[in-house]
Structure 1
Amino acid sequence: MDQAERIERFLAARYPRAGIAIVAGSTARGERTPTSDIDLLLIDDDLFADVSQVSEAATHAFEDEIFEVFAYTVEGFREWADRGVAQHRPVIAHMLVEGAAIRSRTRWSAVLALGSVLSETESRIRRYVITDLLDDLQDATDPLEQRVVAGLLFERMAELMLLSSGQWIGSGKWLPRRLRAWSPERADQLSTPLLAGDFPGFAARVDEELTMAGGRVQAGFVR
């Protein structure tokens, strides 16, 4: 069944006042799997019956599909999109710019094109966290502790690699996807020893990436 027709029926049933509707994620890219949901971004000042409401994140079941809805008034969208940019993870701005059936994407296209800006203060905080995790991994002997710390270290290091290069970050599956899209080679160099369970090799690669990002931060660090 045509997904566009199903989405229109969903909107008519659940969000009839939505003036702007953007289909994002795997549905927009034509990469759906059997478990994929349908991601929708909705923007309209008359979207909610309660005039004081400015945003809503909701999950709906409709015609054997799961819809993940991110709904905003115009001001609500600006507030949450600006918050995402400040956190280097502009999820809804990406939905707006990269999604399908969009009416206006000019402002946020420009914002995303500028890339993320990592301040020296935040860089030092992130490098301090990575330094601490790296020491924990190198000291760990318990197999479970090694895996937990290594997983955290991969996330923090991947984020710093992206941010240090002006890239946006993501959470969950989007973090490795953004890392691979930015540099397949460095993503592979970081992930290969981790996937192989080679924790000394993984720690060595993290140390190399940390050096390129500005180096270890430890003694004398003040938060």
Structure 2
Amino acid sequence: MERLEPLEAAKRLIAERFPDCQGALLAGSVVRGEATETSDLDIVIFDKNLPWSFRESLVESGWPVELFAHNLTSYKQFIAMDCESGTPTMPRMIAEGIVLKDEGILDSLKKESQTIVDRGPEEWSEEFIRTKRYFLTDALDDFLGSESRAEDLFIANSLAELVQEFVLRTNCHWIGTSKWVVRELKRFDESFAEEFIDAFDTFYVSGEKGKVVQLVDKVLAPYGGRLFDGFSIGKEEL
């Protein structure tokens, strides 16, 4: 099947499958100018007649499509979950999306979502930062003590996730998953993102752990460094 232009393909899908919806947006990599050969179309639907939200994957006009369908209230639950997790998937799709159809509801939704994106996630408490310091220290100790290359690989994966989360959330910045780890780090600080990439790339290529260890210590330093002695969870004073 011949592949249509993204906007045309998205509008065709809306016309055929959701002709009575109140609003629809095309979001994702094609909107940001970051599309690759394997990119799909992310389409958000708002239809007051839907009893509940759903997600569906399909092919339309030669494009793989990820469809996110909501009624006029269900999307709020997903925004709330995104804010809690620190990953702004739904608010960013709404804020950045290109309008495919609008019966007067999208302007307020887009403004609301952009405000959420600009505000960033909820600030971590000092106690929560302390807990995250402990788990980052624990993973680093495992990394330093491991003599198994196979185990090293997966400990490094955990460290990468913990480091990006710690840096971004302590700075009230959204976090990412998968390819969005690097994207969110670059949004926050290009220089730190390159240091992060270099440290883990060096380890994966050569097995040298030094740069990763230095990076973790640098991240922890402003918050008191590594934490083990004296840490507890759920302990009550006797």
TM-score, with structure 1 as normaliser:
0.91
- Alignment-derived partner of residue 236 in structure 2: none
Q: Does 1:7 align with 2:10?
A: yes
The unaligned stretches of length 5 or more in structure 2 are 101-105, 234-238
In structure 1, how many angstroms separate the alpha carbons of the residues matched to 2:45 and 2:224? 40
Q: Does 1:38 align with 2:41?
A: yes
1:67 Cα deviation (Å)? 0.5
Contact 2:202 2:211 (8 Å CA) reproduced: no
In structure 1, how many angstroms separate the alpha carbons of the residues matched to 2:224 and 2:78? 31
**Structure 1 residues 157-172: aligned runs within 5 Å:** 157-172=163-178
1:140 Cα deviation (Å)? 1.0
In structure 2, how many angstroms separate the alpha carbons of the residues matched to 1:112 and 1:43? 20
The unaligned stretches of length 5 or more in structure 1 are none
* Equivalent residue in structure 1 for 2:217, among 207, 210, 217: 207
Provide closer, same or farther for how the CA distance between residues 15 and 214 of structure 1 changes in structure 2, counting only shifts above 3 A: farther
Identity of aligned residues (%): 27
In structure 2, how many angstroms separate the alpha carbons of the residues matched to 1:17 and 1:126? 47
1:216 Cα deviation (Å)? 2.4
In structure 2, how many angstroms separate the alpha carbons of the residues matched to 1:214 and 1:41? 43
**Structure 1 residues 144-163: aligned runs within 5 Å:** 144-163=150-169
Moved over 6 A (4+): none
TM-score, with structure 2 as normaliser:
0.85
Contact 1:150 1:199 (8 Å CA) reproduced: no
RMSD: 1.7
* Equivalent residue in structure 2 for 1:111, among 112, 116, 125: 116
Contact 2:26 2:42 (8 Å CA) reproduced: yes
* Equivalent residue in structure 1 for 2:138, among 132, 135, 142: 132
Equivalenced residue count is: 218
* Equivalent residue in structure 1 for 2:230, among 217, 220, 223: 220
Q: Which amino acid aligns with 1:68?
A: E
Greater C-alpha Rg: 2
Contact 2:55 2:66 (8 Å CA) reproduced: yes
In structure 1, how many angstroms separate the alpha carbons of the residues matched to 2:7 and 2:22? 16
Three-state SS of the structure 1 residue aligned to 2:98 is coil
Return 209-218 or 125-134, whichever deviates more. Answer: 209-218
Q: Which amino acid aligns with 1:92?
A: M
Q: Does 1:123 align with 2:129?
A: yes
In structure 1, how many angstroms separate the alpha carbons of the residues matched to 2:128 and 2:223? 12
